[in-house]
Each structure stands twice: as structure tokens, then as C-alpha cells.
Amino acid sequence: MRPAEIERRSMEIIAQELGAREITLPAENAAVIKRVIHATADFDYAASLRFTPGAVRAGIAALRGGIVVTDTNMALAGLSRRALELLGAEKRCYMADAAVASEAKTRETTRAAVSMEHAFRDHAAPIFAVGNAPTALFAIAGAIEGGRRPALVIAVPVGFVNVVEAKERVFAACETAGVPCIAAFGRKGGSSVAAAIVNALLYEAAGLADPALR
């Protein structure tokens, strides 16, 4: 089978299994949730992914000419280059920047937190896709509480230390400030989940939902 055929068949299986589990996805969020399940083979995301009202619509709109900032180069590498190009969008990860590393060392904090601060300095309304570092989410939450307004926050770190708390805080900050947010509540997540969510939005925005068009 060709890659496009494999993806179509995978999505058919996902739809069938969701039906067997008597899970009905909200229409607006279905493409994102299915893309994450496709990336992870984990149906728990049908329940654990949470969306602020209109987050998917806002994310699709923001990707047209926008910039996606990730907290890992792994997530960055996983984003659809073709879709980004079609939309005139950019992608960036600050984690390997020498200035970020130096500042983090001086301040005795994490590069992930400083990375988010640098992104806010360089871009008026970035789209954040965080799949690894809770400290990145704490930095984003603090900035939102201080008045900054990113275009979208994707909060899906994986792990055990401060992961749940970071997701809950940034989601609450986004709800209060009216910032669109998609979060995977609980411990599960990861860079592949962050990339899957961005790609789901990219495909919708660029008209590439059909895998044969990619």
C-alpha cells in the first residue's frame, strides 16, 4: 500500500474503533483528535485533549502567515514543510541558540523557559507547540498573565514532574485571557503529539486533509 492509502485506512480504523467505544468527537475538534490518535495509537486522547472554545478555528487562521515555535527540534522537524510553505508560515525552535543557553545558565533556569521568552520578544503573536518542557508552559502562562497574547498555545508535555500542574496553569491562564489553547491533560503527550496537532491544523488550513495531496 502507498503511504496515502495507509493513512486513509488508518483513519478508517480509528473512526471504527471510536464508534465501537461509543465515542462521538466534537466536529470542530475531530481532525485534531484523530491525528493525535493516528500518531500515538492511543485512544485516551479522545478524552484527555481539551480545547478552549474556538481553538481549532483560531489555530487554522493563525497559521496563515504565522509562526510556530516549538520547545524541541524533534517537534520542529515533524511539521509539514509543504503546508507551511503553502500558507506562508514559518517555524522556529530556540533551544539550540547560544544566547538562550547563556541566559539560562546565568539566570539558573531552563533553556525551555528562556526560549519562550525570546519567542515573545521576537514575535507579536506566536503559535506555541510545547511537547516536552513544563517550564516552557510556566513561562508562557506567566507571559499571558502579564498581558501577552499568543495566537495559540498547544500544551502537551509528557512526564511526571510538574507536567500536570503546568498544563492546568497554562490552560487556566488561556481561558481567563481568551487565548486559544489545546492541552493534553494528565501525564501523556510528547513532541510527536505536539507535531501531530500542528499538522492537523496545517492540513486543514492548507487544504491538504487528503493525504494524496501532500
In the residue annotation, 118 being an active-site residue is answered as no
pLDDT at 1: 85
Predicted TM-score (pTM) of the model is 0.97
- What would the pLDDT profile of 29-55 be if each residue is shown by its tens digit? 999 999 999 999 999 999 999 999 999
What is the side-by-side order of every strand in the sheet holding 67-70? Answer: 49-51, 181-184, 152-155, 127-130, 67-70, 90-93
Angle at 119 between CA 118 and CA 125, to 5 degrees: 140
Catalytic residue among 8, 15, 38, 148: 38
- What would the pLDDT profile of 84-137 be if each residue is shown by its tens digit? 999 999 999 999 999 999 999 999 999 999 999 999 999 999 999 999 999 999
Non-local CB neighbours of 149 within 8 Å, separated by 6+ positions: 125, 177, 179
Domain spanning 47-213, CATH architecture: 3-Layer(aba) Sandwich (3.40)
